[in-house]
Every structure is written in structure tokens, then in C-alpha cells.
Amino acid sequence: MRPKRSAALLGRYRAAWLLSLLALLTACAQLPPAEPEAQGVGERIDRLSDELAGLSAGLEAAREERQALAGNVATLQASLAGVPAMLESMEKFVAAEQTAPAFTPAAACDRADDADGLGDKQVVGRREEVWVEDLQLALPARIDTGAETASLDARNIREFERDGDEWVRFDIVHPGTGEPLTLERPVARVVRILQSTSEEAERRAVIELGIVLGEVRQMAEFTLSDRSHLDFQMLVGRNILKDLMVVDVGQSNIAPYRAPEPPAQ
């Protein structure tokens, strides 16, 4: 009985082993072949390599484009740096064009009646003779555009009151004989003059006199002061010159006065 039982067990073991081997062979037959999968991995690696190469080329191109852009920005900044100077030059040019006189052909120019631009103004030199109607004589005068008010050489100045008004009496030295000529005139106003040689202001009376200078006759204000230390008995200031006369400092005595005729008796 034991040999038969052993043979049966052995047969079972062989059958089980065969079944196991058959199952293993069936499982191996279902697996994909190794060589095709290896080829797919290689293709993916090649594809990734190509993509990396493309990315590297793109990065290089981007780097070059950035460098070119930086160069363009530097060029633009250099160009903009010159814009303020160019604008300033254009503004000056426009201003000059606006202020420049319009060009007129010589053939279209007409001779103006006032060719020298003086109109009816009297031309006087730096020194002139001024006719004083109250004295009926001429006094030497210096023309001074820097003086606001004319001044007259007066000696023995004495102020007094007449009919409630302020008057002044003074002497004028005759330029030819040296004889003192006395005049009395009402005081138009009083001014205070601060001299460089004194800390206190000097009080001066202002009077009106009728004068003739060239062809111009007018009533003008004069401050009275002792001018004995000066060369001229009269100083003609802007109050006489304004709007009526033009001074040619390069000449003297170019405006001879014409003394008005005395009224008929």
C-alpha cells in the first residue's frame, strides 16, 4: 500500500509543478517584449533633448534681444538728453523771429517825412544859452539828463510872505557885467536835497520862470541854490527836456534861442 501511495503523491506533485510552470509561461507570454519598450524610452529621451536644445536657443535669442533693447534705450536716452537744448534754441529762434522787423524790399520803401525819428523835438547840445524872460537876458546852461529838476544860481536868497503867500527874493549875477540882478518870485514848492558832503538835507525853494531854449518856449520850475563854485549859472534837467527835446552830447550851442519880442506899449 505504501509504494502505491507514494507514487500517487509523486504524480500529484508533478501535476502541480506542471501547472505552475504552465501558469508562469502564460504570464511571461502576456508581458510586452522588452526591446520595443526600450526603444520608446530612447525616443522620449531624444525628444526631451530636442526640446532642451530648443529652449536653450530661445533663451539665447531672448538674451540677444534684451541686449539690443538695452542698446536702443541708451541711444534714446542720449537723444533725449539733447532735447532741452534744442527746445531752448527753438524758443530763441521763435522769439527772434517775432521781434525782428519784417523785411521790406528797398524798392518798396518810401522816404518818411520824419527820417531821423525826432519829429518836432528840439535837438540841444550838452551846453546851451537859455533865454530868461524875467531877466531879458541869456544865461549859460549845462544840459543834464540825470537831474530831475532844473537849478538856477541864486545869491542872497531871502524868503518872505506877501498877501499870505510865500515869496522869495534873490540875486542873479549878470553873466557879462557881474552886476547883481534882483528878482522876486512866488515859491511854487519847497524840496529837501541831501548832499553827499552833509548829513542834513538842504531846504531849497522852487520857483517858476519863463524860458526859451532853441525854438521851445515854456514855463519851468527851478530850484534856487548858490552855484558860484560851478561853471554854469543854470542846469537844465529832465523837467525841461522831457517830451520836447533830444540831447546830442557830442555838440554844444546848437540850439540858438530866439528872444520873444517885447509886447507893444
pLDDT-based confidence at residue 101 (cuts at 50, 70, 90): very low
pLDDT at 217: 94
Measured between alpha carbons, how far is residue 120 from residues 174, 217, 244 in Å?
Answer: 32, 14, 8
* Helix, strand, coil distribution of the chain in percent, nearest 5: 40, 30, 30
Rounded to the nearest angstrom, the gap between the alpha carbon of residue 216 and the centroid of all alpha carbons in its chain is 41
pLDDT at residue 67 is higher than 50: yes
Measured between alpha carbons, how far is residue 44 from residues 33, 47, 57 in Å?
Answer: 18, 5, 20
pLDDT-based confidence at residue 109 (cuts at 50, 70, 90): very low
pLDDT at residue 254 is higher than 80: yes
C-alpha R_g of the chain:
60
pLDDT at residue 108 is higher than 50: no
Percentage of residues in the chain having pLDDT higher than 90? 45
Which amino acid is residue 54, in one-letter code? G
Strand 137-143 and strand 234-236: the pairing is parallel
User: What number of helices (H) and strands (E) belong to the chain?
Assistant: 4, 12
pTM score above 0.85: no
pLDDT at residue 103 is higher than 90: no
Span of 67-76, 106-115, 168-177 with lowest mean pLDDT: 106-115
